[in-house]
């Protein structure tokens, strides 16, 4: 019998406890698939007495995760504590520095210190596996790093945050306001008490930084990403999108352009018949456009104990099999620096919702300004007027929805600034980028 792979696991919360459970339940099958058993020998968490629904009596308890990372008995250190700082960072560093392989689900740690940790892993010939950090159970890291190694990838984009997709799906399907959907998501445990990291797009950005690195060989760097969240999206936008054949999704997009790699996170209109538009609720999805093959879309649970454990266990299994791949698919010294792409240069179609003042010449003024900036219209829809205003002498403005053909963001912003100066609209326009798919 081959000696078991000895694992030390730090963090026994939602994911950690599920990993212990899965390794126990699938023990025999994993031993067969990997050629050797996998055995958790020591664990670490904050509170020893907590009931976690798993039997920890046989497992050695090490109070300090950094001490566990350096423990001589273990070959693999599994970090499921979370957070970009210590103890997660110091524990992972300690493990790699002593040549131990590491498995982590910690997107924040990788987004902030991924290159430094990958360099350390390579120096000590250790694996640094992080399938669970993006897309939960979806094997997107392996797909990009290994499964598509022979392809030139032009674009990767996806729904990477279940909370945002849940809110947008509910708003669209049941015409419920953003605030109400958020409260519901919090009640159901899909959103944090402080949801800002999710709804303002930063969680998606951290995951996108990892995907972009794997796809384009760039240094993981969330500061190179343009980020816009979903808080400005209204049911009126979702209704209009629906009528025009679109859905609105918070997408993380990394795409090769003539100016370099563009990385952005923002609410996006996608055609209703596209694969990504079918993804509703907390589910995640990633689409990969590679040069010589039709697009690939992977869909699955992006979070939850067992979903995340599935990816963590697959990473541990790779180590048991002796598989070592450079963490970001190439030597970390060869990862290229990346800059934030200026959004003025972004090219694509746009959805614009304006509140047009009801007076003669308004439509002609708007059309002239758009034409001056060489913006062509795919469609123009006038929506129902809002409720009557307090002053009946001033009729309520009329919502007008414009869908443009491909243009630049610079042209759209300049045209809208000119329309504003013309005083034919009220309030701020809503602008949503359309992603070709
Ligand atoms: N939950 C998901 O669906 C999901 C999905 C994808 C990725 N992830 C990632 O997986 C990781 C773990 O997430 P989770 O949801 O399992 O978190 P969690 O439920 O909050 O669990 C965190 C664990 O870390 C332990 N811990 C915290 N501080 C510690 C310290 N100073 N020393 C030792 N142990 C400490 C906690 O101990 P106590 O239990 O004693 O408090 C707890 O067991 C994070 O990086 C997260 O981003 C989670």
CA of 117 to the centre of ligand 1 (A): 20
**Can you list the alpha helix ranges (DSSP code H) found in 126-161?**
140-142
Q: For residue 388, what pLDDT is reported?
A: 64
Candidate from 13, 71, 86 with most ligand 1 atoms within 8 A of CB, to mutate: 13
pLDDT attached to residue 391: 67
Ligand 1 atom 12: residue of nearest CA: 80
Cite the active site residues.
207
Cα 312 to middle of ligand 1, angstroms: 13
Spatial contact of 380 and 401, defined as CB atoms under 8 Å apart: yes
Q: Hey, what are 277's tokens?
A: 């538009």
Other C-beta atoms closer than 10 Å to the C-beta of 259 total: 11
- Specify the residue with its C-alpha closest to ligand 1, atom 5: 303
Give the separation between CA 136 and CA 144, rounded to whole angstroms: 15
Q: Give the per-residue pLDDT at 386.
A: 63
- Output the pLDDT for position 57: 87
Task: Identify the three-state secondary structure at position 91.
Answer: helix
Q: Which residue has the tokens 């999710």?
A: 198
> pLDDT by residue (tens digit) across 119-143?
999 999 999 999 999 999 999 999 9
Instruction: Tell me if the bond preceding 87 is cis, omega within 30° of 0.
Output: yes
Residues sharing a CB contact under 8 Å with residue 382, sequence separation 6 or more, in sequence order? 356, 398, 399, 400, 401
pLDDT beneath 70, residues of the chain: 384-393
Cα 92 to ligand 1 centre (Å): 14
390 C-alpha to ligand 1 centroid (Å):
53
Give the tens place of pLDDT for each residue, 365-417. Answer: 999 999 999 999 999 888 766 666 666 667 789 999 999 999 999 999 999 99
Q: What is the DSSP string of 327-359?
A: TTSS-GGGPBP--PPPGGG-EEEEEEEEEE-SS
E strand or H helix at 205:
helix 202-216
Q: Which of 18, 19, 45 to mutate to test the pocket of ligand 1 (most atoms within 8 A of CB)?
A: 45
């Amino acid at each position: 019998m081959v000696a078991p792979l000895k694992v030390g696991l730090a963090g026994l919360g939602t994911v950690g406890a599920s990993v212990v459970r899965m390794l126990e339940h699938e023990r025999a099958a994993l031993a067969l698939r990997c050629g050797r058993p996998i055995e958790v020998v020591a664990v670490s968490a904050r509170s020893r007495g907590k009931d976690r629904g798993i039997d920890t009596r046989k497992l050695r308890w090490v109070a300090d995760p950094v001490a566990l990372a350096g423990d001589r008995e273990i070959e693999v250190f599994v970090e499921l504590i979370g957070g970009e700082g210590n103890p997660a960072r110091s524990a992972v560093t300690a493990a790699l520095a002593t040549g131990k392989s590491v498995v982590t689900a910690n997107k924040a740690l990788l987004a902030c210190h991924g290159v430094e940790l990958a360099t350390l892993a390579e120096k000590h010939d250790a694996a640094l596996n992080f399938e669970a950090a993006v897309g939960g159970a979806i094997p997107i890291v392996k797909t990009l790093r290994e499964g598509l190694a022979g392809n030139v990838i032009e674009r990767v984009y996806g729904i990477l945050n279940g909370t945002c997709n849940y809110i947008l799906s509910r708003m669209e399907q049941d015409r419920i306001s953003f605030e109400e959907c958020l409260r519901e998501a919090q009640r159901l445990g899909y959103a944090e008490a402080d949801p800002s990291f999710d709804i303002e797009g930063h969680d998606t950005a951290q995951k996108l930084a990892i995907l972009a690195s794997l796809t384009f060989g760039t240094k993981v760097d969330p500061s190179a990403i343009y980020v816009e969240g979903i808080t400005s999206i209204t049911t009126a936008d979702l209704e209009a999108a629906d009528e025009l054949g679109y859905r609105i999704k918070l997408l993380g997009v990394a795409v090769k352009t003539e100016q370099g790699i563009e990385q952005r996170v923002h609410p996006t209109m996608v055609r209703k018949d596209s694969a990504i538009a079918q993804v509703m609720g907390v589910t995640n999805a990633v689409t990969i456009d590679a040069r010589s093959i039709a697009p690939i879309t992977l869909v699955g649970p992006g979070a939850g104990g067992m979903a995340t454990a599935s990816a963590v266990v697959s990473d541990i299994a790779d180590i048991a099999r002796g598989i070592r791949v450079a963490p970001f698919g190439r030597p970390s010294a060869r990862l290229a620096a990346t800059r934030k792409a200026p959004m003025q240069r972004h090219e694509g179609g746009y959805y614009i919702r304006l509140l047009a003042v009801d007076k003669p010449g308004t439509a002609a003024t708007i059309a002239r300004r758009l034409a001056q900036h060489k913006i062509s219209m795919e469609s123009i829809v006038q929506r129902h007027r809002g409720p009557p205003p307090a002053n009946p002498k001033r009729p309520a403005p009329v919502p007008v929805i414009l869908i443009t053909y491909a243009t630049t963001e610079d042209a759209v912003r300049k045209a809208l600034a000119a329309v504003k100066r013309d005083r034919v609209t009220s309030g701020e326009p809503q602008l949503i980028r359309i992603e070709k798919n």
